[in-house]
Structure 1
Amino acid sequence: MSSDPWGRVDETGTVYVRTADGEKEVGSWQAGSPAEALAYFERKYEGLVVEIGLLERRVQTTDLAPKEALAAIEHLRTSVTEAHAVGDLAALGVRLDALVALVDSRREERRVAKAKQSEEAKAAKEQLVAEAEQLAESEQWRTAGERLRALVDTWKGLPRLDRKADDELWHRFSHARSVFSKRRKAHFASLDAQREEARRAKEKLVTEAQALSDSTDWGPTAARYRELMTEWKAAGRAQREAEDDLWNRFRGAQDVFFAARSEAFAERDGEQRDNLAAKEQLVVEAEKLLPVTDLKAARAAFRTINERWEAIGHVPRDARPRIEGRMHTVERALADSEAAEWRRTNPEVRARAAGLTGQLQAAVDKLRDQVDAARSAGNTAKADKLAAELEGRQALLDQALKGLQEFGG
């Protein structure tokens, strides 16, 4: 018979393992010595030790799921319980119990971590929902749309919650995106309608602008083009492609008109500068008639000059006051000379002037006689008073005589 601390082989070849509950038969051995039999069953025990060690390392060093780990432990526990092996089987049970405790601890840690992760995910998703609901009312269509797409990507990267909580938050999140999408679609539909209305309005403006492009009614047409430009700005923008085409046509029509007007104005300005030079020559010729010495000849010469003046046409606007002012000066001088000649040769006026002169002469003679009489009488005060009156009447008489001389009298 052979034995060790954990087992023995009896004389019949039966092998026993010692346990806390007593000996347990694990097999029989007939092929060799009892020592070989114990060695054989001890190797089976070592195999269990190796399996338990490997499982311990898996549990301690890998992310083995608790359910899978417990299944492996129970499998090994059954193997230990039913083992045909010699060794400290109770120690193996203790190691398996410790491994169960470790798995339970890890499972609790995972539960706590998962709960924390779930709370964090819920808080993160609630923040995403709140931001999405705020963005749903935004009118920053491009920026808000890009941000909502980024929020979807963030949502996909977060862990799922329990079905009810996750579905409720997703419903709010999806609803916010839907609200924004509908508002954006309505906005751009309205914008398209406005742009189409602007396009139709600008088509009419282009048609009118093109119809006016060959007008030679420069002032009113230029004014209408300014009005068309104001209407163009008020019409709003059409679709980009249409807007560019309409603007090119509208601007092209204006360019045709204003280029023609500039050419016409340039030609007109050249003519007016030539007209100014001709009128300056006529003004010099007219100014040589002054001072008037022969009214009849001057009047005839001025009439000829004026006829040539009227035939010349317009001069530049800024030169008009100066050149016409010089011509009017000559014209006024001739008019003054004609008025003076008329007064001098008018018999009725001459007669009135002669009558007035006679009356003044009689008054002067009378006052002179009265002055002499007062002095002879020794009345000096009266003589002085009459002499002062005589001086005033004499001045009037001298003026009247001078006027009478103008009539050849």
Structure 2
Amino acid sequence: MYVRTADSEQVAGSWQTGSPEQALAYFEGKYDELLVEIGLLERRVRTTDLSAEDAQTAIDHIREQVDAYHFVGDLEALTARLDRLVGTVDKRREERSQQRAVQSDEARRAKEALVVEAEELAQSDQWRAAGERLRALVDTWKGLPRLDRKVDDELWHRFSHARSAFSKRRKAHFAQLDAQREEARKTKERLVAEAEALSGSTDWGPTAARYRELMSEWKAAGRAQREHEDDLWNRFRGAQDIFFAARSSVFAERDAEQAENLKLKEALAGEAEKLLPIGDLKGARAAFRSINERWEAIGHVPRDARPKVEGRMHAVERALQDAEESEWRRTNPEARARAEGLTGQLQAAVDKLRSQIDQARAQGNNAKADKLERELEGRQALLDQALKGLQDFGG
């Protein structure tokens, strides 16, 4: 059996088991098989992502069968279809080459952006957020295609160096933080020990003041490790609660006692105020002394009420003191003698001026008389004042 080519005839094969018609049908069937195989390959090239290399391998395999001439049919048609398919594959290869170039350029720019961001994050102090973002950048990097080995290695070196720099800074930061927290733990353990030692104190004022100082020191110490902080705080706060609860109990008792004392002192102040105005100085003095003795025996009152109730007693006491001073002046012999002497001198001066006025009038010297009368007015005013003072002595 022969097949005719463009310039000759080629032996397709031999047939010994049947008629020539059967032989022709058999070799025509071989041709049809090649048509089907070429059609399937054309469809794969059009509709799948078959690589150019695999497509070319399949074309070469079919072309070997065509060049073997083991069929009968339109040889030129088969060759033409294969040539067209080669053109399609070459075009696909070029398109994919361009696409890979674009993708490679995009991947390079994407990796450069990742490197720049990683280098910026390497200087961040936002340890948690920056660390999470760097991990996300690694995942993004892994999802990008590889570049030219030299370029890819250079970018990866910068990216890896930025991550290492951040990790080193973060490690140093937390090492320092751990040291600070350990120091804070030691300080707070000392504060807790002192707070617990003071919890039973009854020296209320100084101890309360010391607890305030301890609280300031606690805040200034910073935080200890998480596993120690809560326990230390509970012990510190518990010691304070014991002290302040005891103090509150004592103060509540004291406040109740002082409130009762205030009622008693207010009643005594009212009793003292009934002594006013002072009439019987001796009786008032004795009564106030009795009231004051009872006052002193009562004890403290609330601090905010103290000025008012004590002011009432002081007012009565001042009235007694004023009355005593007036009585002393009235009964003091030396003061009375001085008052009487002054009154006598002023009276003599007044009498002398009157005599001089009468004499001047008699002599017709009215100018002198008028001058003496003006002097008389001044001396008379002093005499009237002295006489009034003398009356205070009962004279």
State TM-score, norm by structure 2.
0.91
1:22 paired residue number: 8
* Structure 2: distance between partners of 1:135 and 1:76: 57
8 Å contact 2:336–2:390 — kept in the other structure? Answer: yes
- Could you tell me which amino acid in structure 2 is paired with residue 304 of structure 1? S
2:41 paired residue number: 55
8 Å contact 2:10–2:69 — kept in the other structure? Answer: no
8 Å contact 2:11–2:69 — kept in the other structure? Answer: no
Q: Does residue 216 of the first structure (1) align with residue 217 of the second (2)?
A: no
SS in 2 for 1:238: coil
Superposition deviation, residue 128 in structure 1: 1.6
Indicate the larger mover: 278-287 or 126-135: 278-287
How many residues align structurally?
Answer: 395
Match of 1:207 among 162, 174, 193: 193
* Structure 2: distance between partners of 1:376 and 1:35: 200
Superposition deviation, residue 28 in structure 1: 4.2
1:153 paired residue number: 139
* Structure 1: distance between partners of 2:64 and 2:112: 48
Superposition deviation, residue 268 in structure 1: 1.8
Superposition deviation, residue 51 in structure 1: 2.9
Superposition deviation, residue 69 in structure 1: 2.4
Q: Does residue 344 of the first structure (1) align with residue 352 of the second (2)?
A: no
Taking a change above 3 Å as real, the CA distance of residues 31 and 327 of structure 1, as seen in their structure-2 partners, is closer
SS in 1 for 2:146: coil
CA deviations 1:198-230 (Å, max 9, x no partner) are: 222122222222222222222222222222222
CA deviations 1:145-201 (Å, max 9, x no partner) are: 221222222222222223222222222222222222222222222222212222221
* Structure 2: distance between partners of 1:45 and 1:201: 96
Taking a change above 3 Å as real, the CA distance of residues 250 and 375 of structure 1, as seen in their structure-2 partners, is same
CA deviations 1:13-36 (Å, max 9, x no partner) are: xx3332222233334455554444
Taking a change above 3 Å as real, the CA distance of residues 377 and 84 of structure 1, as seen in their structure-2 partners, is closer
CA deviations 1:13-64 (Å, max 9, x no partner) are: xx33322222333344555544444334333333333333333333333333
Task: Extract unaligned runs of 5+ from structure 1.
Answer: 1-14
SS in 2 for 1:86: coil
Alignment of 1:6-405 (within 5 A): 15-29=1-15, 31-405=17-391
Identical-pair percentage:
77
- Could you tell me which amino acid in structure 2 is paired with residue 231 of structure 1? E
Superposition deviation, residue 408 in structure 1: 4.0
- Could you tell me which amino acid in structure 1 is paired with residue 124 of structure 2? S
8 Å contact 2:115–2:158 — kept in the other structure? Answer: yes
* Structure 2: distance between partners of 1:293 and 1:229: 61
* Structure 1: distance between partners of 2:126 and 2:84: 61
* Structure 1: distance between partners of 2:219 and 2:37: 88
SS in 2 for 1:17: strand
> Radius of gyration: which is bigger?
1
* Structure 2: distance between partners of 1:226 and 1:59: 85
- Could you tell me which amino acid in structure 2 is paired with residue 348 of structure 1? E
Superposition deviation, residue 298 in structure 1: 2.7
Superposition deviation, residue 238 in structure 1: 1.8
- Could you tell me which amino acid in structure 2 is paired with residue 261 of structure 1? R
* Structure 1: distance between partners of 2:350 and 2:11: 189
- Could you tell me which amino acid in structure 2 is paired with residue 328 of structure 1? H
* Structure 1: distance between partners of 2:391 and 2:20: 187
Taking a change above 3 Å as real, the CA distance of residues 58 and 315 of structure 1, as seen in their structure-2 partners, is closer
Taking a change above 3 Å as real, the CA distance of residues 28 and 385 of structure 1, as seen in their structure-2 partners, is closer
Taking a change above 3 Å as real, the CA distance of residues 81 and 311 of structure 1, as seen in their structure-2 partners, is same
SS in 2 for 1:20: coil
8 Å contact 2:184–2:222 — kept in the other structure? Answer: yes
- Could you tell me which amino acid in structure 1 is paired with residue 121 of structure 2? L
- Could you tell me which amino acid in structure 2 is paired with residue 152 of structure 1? V
- Could you tell me which amino acid in structure 1 is paired with residue 184 of structure 2? A
* Structure 2: distance between partners of 1:64 and 1:33: 43
Indicate the larger mover: 336-345 or 117-126: 336-345
SS in 1 for 2:12: strand
* Structure 2: distance between partners of 1:33 and 1:267: 134
* Structure 1: distance between partners of 2:15 and 2:306: 146
CA deviations 1:330-353 (Å, max 9, x no partner) are: 222222222222222222222222
8 Å contact 2:3–2:69 — kept in the other structure? Answer: no
SS in 1 for 2:70: coil
Taking a change above 3 Å as real, the CA distance of residues 75 and 227 of structure 1, as seen in their structure-2 partners, is same
Indicate the larger mover: 323-332 or 376-385: 376-385
Query: Over aligned residue pairs, what C-alpha RMSD do you find?
Result: 2.3
State TM-score, norm by structure 1.
0.88
* Structure 2: distance between partners of 1:159 and 1:50: 37
Taking a change above 3 Å as real, the CA distance of residues 350 and 72 of structure 1, as seen in their structure-2 partners, is closer
- Could you tell me which amino acid in structure 1 is paired with residue 187 of structure 2? A
- Could you tell me which amino acid in structure 1 is paired with residue 381 of structure 2? A
8 Å contact 2:13–2:70 — kept in the other structure? Answer: yes
- Could you tell me which amino acid in structure 2 is paired with residue 285 of structure 1? E
Superposition deviation, residue 311 in structure 1: 1.9
